Structure 1
Amino acid sequence: MYQPDVFALAEDGYRGPAPDWRPGSPALWLVDVERTAAHAARTAPAILDAEERARAARLVSAADRDCYTAAHVALRVLLGARQGVSPAAVRLTRERCPSCGGPHGRPATGGGTHFSLSHTRGLALLAFADVPVGVDVERLPEARIVSEIAGQLHPAESAELAALPEEERPAAFARVWTRKEAYLKGEGTGLVGGLDREYVGTGPEPLPGPGGWAVTDVAVPAGYAAAVAVSTAGRPAAHGGDRRK
């Protein structure tokens, strides 16, 4: 399981380390929205681009706006620190979708840094690596959500959930969902490929990732689940010396 760093933004800005990693092993940051929101809101007008500001403004819920703003301020600050440029100078683009060729694939930036961002109410998670990477964080779902979506998973995963006591299903569902979402985001296809085509498992420990990928859980506060997926194509998966604990 990976232990992320905690992103802290103070009145005088960010004073933490820049993203740094071993080959094939991600660097991860966790953003506590409640602790970061006020400073992020003051910083955002000078950091976020017009598209990011417009997207934040379209969010109806103040909590969702805070989460989006804090996550994107953290993303730009950390990318800027990595690239040696100001956060506002970071150029964010989209790669081509590997499924249809459209301009909605993995988010990307110059400078040889791959990254992924996920946020849910109250928390955001960011991953950086030298290879394609995907990350996902989610609140544990209500039992109703588990019942509605479990049948869309891989048949073996659906069977695993059905065999669990009802009170254990939300945590197991969140584990399999974040693992699968992290992999699909890293691959660049998202949910368009369906939830049933890869088996990652619902148990406390993730199974070996789909071919060419390593999927690992991420330590997050109680009530959440998170995972990161890293491409292993062309190199061995990271083991000793990475940031897993």
Structure 2
Amino acid sequence: MHTPHVLTIGSQFPPAAQDPSALQDPSTAQDPPTASTAVWLVDTDAQDRAAARLAPEVLDPVEQQRAAAFKREVDRRRYVASHVALRLVLGAWLDLPPGRVRITRAPCPGCGGPHGRPVSEDGPVHFSLSHSDRLALLAVGPVPVGADVEALPTASAVAELAGQLHPREIAELEALAPEERPAAFGRVWVRKEAYLKGLGIGLARGLSLDYVGAGDTPADGLPGWSLTNVAVPPGFAAAVAVTTGR
């Protein structure tokens, strides 16, 4: 289990934010470069006012247009807070003002279209952003990475979606008591999403192809990738996938 850094928008970053190699969790340290991947958790509802003050100078025109397009005010505020947070972390990593960080999309590995994983044009950094309800999860590192955080699903959502998973994951969920299935399904979902986001292909790959496990510990078997649970508040599940280069 990885314990993420908690980001407070508007505060001075700790020294580790300027030194990627210092951001690893000592309890889960691995051989470089995966060891230097940083994971940040943001309570967007708590940080929305600070983010709103910075947004005009930090977000690019595309992000500002997307923010303005949200119909619900709470969705707009959470989007702004998560994307301001991402730019603050990337700016610290790249030693650039957050508003000067250039973010674009890599080609999709499936079709070649301009909708693959988001990438920076300013240096050798990989990152992933996920947000659900009031939480945002950021992962930044020197190798491809995927992050996902989700509010735990309802029992009806589990019943509707579980059949799309890997056959072994379906069997593991069916073996659990009904009240245990939402948490187990949440673990499966965030691990799978993190991995697919790391690949840059997303759910287009399909949920049944890769086995990540429904237990407390992620399954070990994704070629070239490592999955790690991330500690988040009750009612949520989160995971990060980092390529190992093996």
Instruction: Tell me the TM-score normalized by structure 1.
Output: 0.92
| Partner SS state of residue 163, structure 2 | helix
Match of 1:50 in 2: 61
Are the counterparts in 2 of residues 14 and 77 from structure 1 also a CA contact under 8 Å?
Answer: no
Q: Distance in 2 between matches of 1:107 and 1:116?
A: 7
What is the CA distance between 1:194 and its match in structure 2? 0.5
Q: CA deviation at 1:15?
A: 3.4
Match among 224, 235, 239 for residue 212 of structure 1:
224
**Cα distance in 1, alignment partners of residues 79 and 241 from structure 2:** 22
Alpha-carbon offset, residue 81 of structure 1: 1.0
Match of 1:20 in 2: 20
CA distance in 2, matches of 1:158, 1:15: 42
* Pairing 1:227–2:246 present: no
Aligned-pair distance for 1:209?
4.2
Provide the identity percentage.
55
The Cα shift of 1:56 comes to: 1.1
- AA paired with 1:4? P
**Higher mean Cα deviation, 70-79 or 59-68?**
59-68
Q: Aligned equivalents of 2:90 and 2:160: distance in 1?
A: 38
Contact 1:19–1:128 under 8 Å retained in 2: no
Residue deviations 1:32-63 (CA, integer Å, cap 9, x gap): 11221110011101110111011111112222
CA offset digits 1:88-126 (Å, max 9, x no partner): 100001111111111111110131010000001100000
How big is the shift at 1:67? 1.4
Deviation above 2 Å: which 4+ runs of structure 1?
Answer: 13-19
Name the structure with the higher helix share. 2
User: Corresponding residue for 2:9?
Assistant: 9
Which amino acid in the other structure matches residue 84 of structure 2?
A: V
Equivalents in 2 of 1:58, 1:155: separation in Å?
39
Q: Does 1:200 align with 2:212?
A: yes
Q: Higher relative contact order by CA 8 Å / sep ≥ 6: 1 or 2?
A: 1
User: Which residue does the alignment assign to 1:134?
Assistant: 146
User: Separation in 2 of the partners of 1:64 and 1:205?
Assistant: 32
Distance (whole Å) between structure 1 residues aligned to residue 38 and residue 178 of structure 2: 35
Q: Which moved more, 1:59-68 or 1:131-140?
A: 59-68
**Structure 2 segments unaligned to the other structure (5+ residues):** 22-31
RMSD over aligned Cα atoms: 1.2
* One-letter amino acid of the counterpart of residue 205, structure 1: T
